[in-house]
Structure 1
Amino acid sequence: MKQPARLLVGAIALSSMAFSMSSFAQATITVSTWGGPNHGINTIVWPTWKAWIEEATDDRVTVEVVHDMGPPPAQMEIVADGIADASWIFHAHMAGRFLATQLPEFPTFEEFSSEDASAAYWHTHQEYLQQANEHRGVDVVAMGVHGPGQIFTRDQISSIDELAGKRLRVGGGVMSGLAEAMSVTGVSIPPTGTYEAASQGVVDGAMLTLESLRSFRVAEVAPHTLTVDGGFYRGSFAIVMNPMFWDQVSDEDRAAIESVSGERLSRLFGYMMDISDQRGVEFGEENGATFTQASEQDIDYLRGVASNLQDAWSESIKSRGVDAPAALAFFHEQLVNAAAEERIEASVVSH
């Protein structure tokens, strides 16, 4: 072979290698987010997940977070349609579609961390709930449980009876059933709309988490909190991805991303909720918020309501192929296991 021909062949070979290497170069996971720039999902979860992914892939994959791509109930569709590669969804925003995911929402009247609950929920989803196929169209990379859901009101109350006729923000799912049992008029609005609705008198308060006192400015418009141990309810979330994203990365990088997702990302989400609740309570106390524990009589009533709701739920998901009693038992077993495992805090890069 003549010298020019050898040079040409060599150049073609190098070009092919460069193309092969560049075909997976610096992929970006575009994350659609909501909750406000100061919400823990945006100050803790996404920055930490980004750092984990960049480290795991030697910077071949990164994360870009974009705000206001759509309202909270639209996030599932935004990801499924490929407008964004990933997002976080609150299952109660799509109550008709999601039933199996109500599993961690029922009140237990016991205290446990959102970090442990989220880790337990991830394993329960993988073992039992995913067969319901409720997340069809997207890949689930983490599951999350928020902290104890409490009741916030404009006027101070001390018992459930005083809630009768009140208009409260509710988010669907189990909390809707609880609201009805307490003779509350539920108003379906996202957490981000609570401040405006309460300040304009559209609602008398809200069923939300303690972090909402700060994150959604609830302390300014509904500063009085009625509480029960473990919360009136919990909330179910997922972090989801568009399956087509995996075409942009190598199998090696996909495995690397999955290694810092799953239980680890679920724990991170729960940790964020725990920290956010602590900050919410501190903010509320600094700004004159009150906290009133529900009476034992009220809690006994709520136990009966919760039992009825759980029985109805168990029956409703049979048709989706989920063994509800087994899934619930597994979830509570996993809660115990999760509490004995190492905390995620040391791996968090942003607080």
Structure 2
Amino acid sequence: MIPSIRRALAILAVSALLPTIAAAQTTVLRYSNWLPPGHAMRVKVIEPWIAEVEKVTQGRVKIDTLPKVIGTVPSQFDVAADGQADLVVFVNGYTPGRFEISEVLELPFTSDNAEVYSAFAYRFYTQHLAQYGEYKGVHPLSLFVVGTGHIFNNKRPVRSIGDLRGMKLRTPQAGVTQSLLLLGAVPVSKPISELYELLSGGSLDGTLLVPESVASFKLVDSLPYATIVPGALYNTILTLGINDAKWQGIRADDREAISKISGEAFARKVGRAYMEGDEATWATYRKMGRTIETASPAMVQEIRTALKPVEVTWIEKAKRKGVANPEKLLETMRSELAAAK
């Protein structure tokens, strides 16, 4: 065969293989999304992050947002751990008993600055909590909070603990369930995705929720009364998690690149997005003539006193989970948070 023809055939053969080689080098992550269109975290953080992942890995890692959530919203941790989807965002409190040590970050009156606290939460997790192995089967790319929890209802303005008595209020996590019981309300554990139907049908009188989500989940009409609790009645921890085996299958330099745009940076962006969303919700409330109360100093002190057992309960749970000195861990968290920016 003439050498020039042989070279041409070789080039053609290699060219034919290039698409196959490129496909073999591309990892596609299936993302199980449950956040509605327009949601602050989805639009301002997750979707830009998905694009950035492809960019920093030079196209070797791509994320495919699935057309609907895999499984249920409360089951997202297991969806990732079992490999039903590769990538999820899940609410830690939706799987009771699994993240009891990390619940220290959800205690009452911890912080009401979501941007600062989100970044701090991830940092504190990596430095002090990761050693306890609560994320078996799932690699946490980021851990964060989604804003300050306040009181929303459709019955009456809440100006004292007495106004909460007997109200059926949705609770997002175990610590909040205990808080509602201590405040005289009736806690109902349900995911946020079911709130609209439960409120419309009269099964709930209200919910504890971050303001941004009241608007993004279209609940303003269902929750005309809002009470802001300075200092934060609670914070809710969420996690951006990836199936651990899938994560380990990504080449090391790409894992490093993805980690750099995740973690604390991702958490801070979530906190900022929620704070902006909170302000938009309050603007909507004022425009629509809804009631916005701010708990008085006397009411805040009343709540603090009533919720003291929540901290005691966390200490007991942490000890059972193997934390030698939970009191010291709590003290460290408060000390480091006081210096956080």
* Contact 1:119 1:263 (C-alpha < 8 Å) held by counterparts: yes
Partner Cα distance (2:329, 2:92) in 1? 18
Q: Percent identity?
A: 26
Aligned: 1:312 with 2:313:
yes
My pick for the range that moved more, 307-316 or 176-185, is 307-316
Deviates more, 1:303-312 or 1:6-15: 6-15
The unaligned stretches of length 5 or more in structure 2 are none
Change (3 A) 1:288 1:77: same
Aligned to 2:152: 152
Q: Does 1:291 align with 2:254?
A: no
Cα distance in 2 for partners of 1:72, 1:223 equals 26
Aligned to 1:50: 50
Instruction: Return the offset for 1:199.
Output: 1.4
Give the structure 1 partner of residue 329 of structure 2.
Answer: 327
SS at match of 2:235: coil
| Structure 1 counterpart SS, 2:289 | coil
User: Which residue identity lines up with residue 310 of structure 1 in the other structure?
Assistant: E
Equivalent pair of 1:121/1:331 in contact (CA under 8 Å): no
1:75 is aligned to: 76
Instruction: Out of 315-324 and 146-155, give the one that drifted further.
Output: 315-324
Q: Helix, strand or coil for the counterpart of 1:68?
A: coil
2:137–2:245: 8 Å Cα contact kept in structure 1? no
Q: Distance in 1 between matches of 2:16 and 2:331?
A: 55
1:270 maps to what in 2? 271
Query: SS at the partner of 1:220?
Result: coil
Cα deviation, 1:32-80, whole Å, max 9, x if unaligned, reads 1113122123212221211221221122222222233232101111111
After superposition, the C-alpha distances for 1:270-303 in whole angstroms (9 at most, x for unaligned) are 2222222222222222222211122333222221
Report the 3-state secondary structure (helix = DSSP H, G, I; strand = E; otherwise coil) of the residue aligned with 1:235: strand
Question: Could you tell me how far apart the structure 2 residues matched to 1:239 and 1:246 are?
Answer: 13
Instruction: Deviation per CA, 1:304-345: give whole Å up to 9, x if none.
Output: 233321122012112323343343344344435542xxxxxx
How has the CA–CA distance of structure 1 residues 46 and 110 changed in structure 2, closer, same or farther, with 3 Å as cutoff?
A: closer
What SS does the corresponding residue of 2:25 show, helix, strand or coil? coil
- The alignment partner of 2:166 has SS state of coil
Query: What displacement does 1:185 show?
Result: 0.8
> Could you tell which deviates more after superposition, 18-27 or 240-249?
18-27
Map 1:99-248 → 2, pairs under 5 A = 99-108=100-109, 111-112=112-113, 114-157=114-157, 158-246=159-247, 248=249
Aligned partner of residue 230 in structure 1, secondary structure = coil
Q: 1:80–1:242: 8 Å Cα contact kept in structure 2?
A: yes
Matches within 5 A, 1:8-19: none
| Paired amino acid for 1:226 | T
1:3-31 CA-to-partner distances (Å, cap 9, x unmatched) read 69x96997799599959953653322221
Kept in 1: contact 2:112–2:231 (CA 8 A): yes
CA distance 1:324–1:13, shift in 2 (3 Å): farther
1:31 matched residue in structure 2: 31
Residue matched to 2:281: 280
The CA deviation string for residues 241-283 of structure 1, in whole angstroms up to 9 with x for no partner, is 0122235532221211111111112222222222222222222
Contact preservation (8 Å) 2:146, 2:236: yes
One-letter amino acid matched to 1:175: V
In structure 2, relative to structure 1, the CA distance for the partners of 1:317 and 1:16 (3 Å cut) is farther
Seen in structure 2, the aligned counterparts of structure 1 residues 275 and 63 have a Cα distance that, compared at 3 Å, is farther
3-state DSSP class of the match of 1:218?
A: coil
Task: Please tell me the root mean square deviation across aligned C-alpha atoms, in Å.
Answer: 2.8
How far apart are the structure 2 equivalents of 1:268 and 1:30? 22
CA distance, structure 2, for counterparts of residue 110 and residue 263 of structure 1? 17
TM-score by length of structure 1 reads 0.86
Which amino acid counterpart does residue 56 of structure 1 have in structure 2?
Answer: V
Q: Is the 8 A contact 1:214 1:284 kept in 2?
A: no
CA contact (8 A) 1:110 1:229 kept: no
1:280 & 1:121 partners in 2: Cα distance? 24
- The separation in 1 between residues aligned to 2:22 and 2:144, in whole angstroms, is 35
Structure 1 gap segments, 5+ residues each? 340-351
TM-score (norm 2): 0.89
